[in-house]
Structure 1
Amino acid sequence: MHSGPGNPDDWVTVAQVIRPWGNRGEVAAISLTSLANRFDTLREVYLFGENGPLGEEQPRHIESVWENRGRLIFKFLGIDTITDAEQLRGAEMKIPLAERPELPAGEYYHSDLAGCEVIDRNGSRIGRVRNWLDEGGSGVLSVEPAGNGEDVLIPFATSICIEIDVKARRIVVDLPEGLLEINRR
């Protein structure tokens, strides 16, 4: 496991605590990962509040995790009462970036796409990826334009995003005619 909290860019948030659950120290949380089975093998997380790590800068051991009505229910070692669990309300569960599972070729973590420069196939800069929108299907990149204006929405499809180089922080797109104009209305 990682040696402890450091640079915020070295972490990825996998879930966020909503509230205590039951009377045995469990907490309800929402998953912030698109990997359906992400929590099946996860045994430790770091808990962060608004001002950084909660408690000691050590990982929290997950005793159990299960799903209930679309929420994840976590039981952490040493969190045994509602009062203990209340201290975790709003906390983000993070893991070191280096511990994310490797994805198959052609698949990307949404957080890795954020900040990538988007250029068209002629080399003209369109902007930078601000966010990923899950609109069903293949998803949509919300791109902060190089000039002023509203974000440009670009479908994340292989026919449009023709080259993706996360390490170089660059996405080359072949936009359908009129897509930029539609975004500027």
Structure 2
Amino acid sequence: MSKAARICVAKIGAAHGVRGEVRLWPFTEDPMAVIDYGPLSTKDGARQFEVARARVTKDHLVAMLKGVTNRDEAERLNGIELYIARDALPDTDEGQYYHADLIGLAAIDPQGAAIGTVTAIHNFGAGDIIEIAPKSGPSLLLPFTNAVVPTVDLAAGHVVIELPGEIEGDSPDSADSAP
């Protein structure tokens, strides 16, 4: 499988103050890593930005981008996603993956039968969720755990999915009955 050419590592938010600072929403494990990547560019590569300095706030960074000197310039950048070349990212440890490397992998069951294709990895605060688009029907949203995804084989281009069984709980009939 070929690696994605570009990876989104941050998104510029609203202007902060009057001297050209912006809110910066990093998508990296270490929020300050965006400074170490050097110039960041738009998805099409038409514009480049370099973080001159940044500081961590509650849930984002406040950053000064080189060449941005006032609030008006900073406001025009709101919403721009910042990318780097995939090859600029460090290798991952065993059992760790960049989301972009998982997108597009085939999802198969333990016997090798096709389930669908990985379309996204989400995290809504309680852990990673893998989204799989089957050939027909609605997408599957499954916990990205070792129990549900026991095997990720980037070289072979697939993930093995152990579909969970029924969830134990009350039967629909017992919900309406009173004690």
Q: TM-score, normalised by structure 1?
A: 0.78
User: Kindly tell me: are residues 43 and 113 of structure 1, through their superposed partners in 2, closer, same or farther at Cα, counting changes over 3 Å?
Assistant: closer
Match of 1:96?
Answer: 85
Match of 1:21 among 4, 16, 20: 16
Gap regions ≥5 residues in structure 2: 168-179
| Deviations 1:79-107, CA, capped at 9 Å, x for gaps | 11112222322211111110112211111
Q: CA deviation at 1:66?
A: 1.2
Match of 1:36 in 2: 30
Q: Percent identity?
A: 25
Q: Which residue of 2 aligns with 1:6?
A: none
Tell me what 1:139 maps to: 128
Gap change, CA 1:75 and 1:92, over 3 Å in 2: same
**Whole-angstrom CA distance in 1 between matches of 2:127 and 2:77:** 34
Q: Deviations over 1:108-164 (max 9, x none)?
A: 112211111000011111000111121445422111012x21111222111221221
Q: Secondary structure at the match of 1:90?
A: coil
Partner amino acid, structure 2, of 1:83: D
Bigger proportion of residues as strand: 1
Per the alignment, residue 123 of structure 1 pairs with: 112
Partners of 2:37 and 2:100 in 1: how far apart?
22
Cα distance in 2 for partners of 1:62, 1:136 equals 28
* Displacement of 1:61: 2.7
Taking structure 2 as the reference length, the TM-score comes to: 0.80
Gaps of 5+ in 1: 1-8, 180-185
| Distance of aligned partners of 1:129 and 1:40 in 2 relative to their CA distance in 1, 3 Å threshold | closer
Query: What is the total number of aligned residue pairs between the two structures?
Result: 164
Larger radius of gyration: 2
Compared with structure 1, are the counterparts of its residues 82 and 135 closer, same or farther at alpha carbon in structure 2 (3 Å cutoff)? Answer: closer
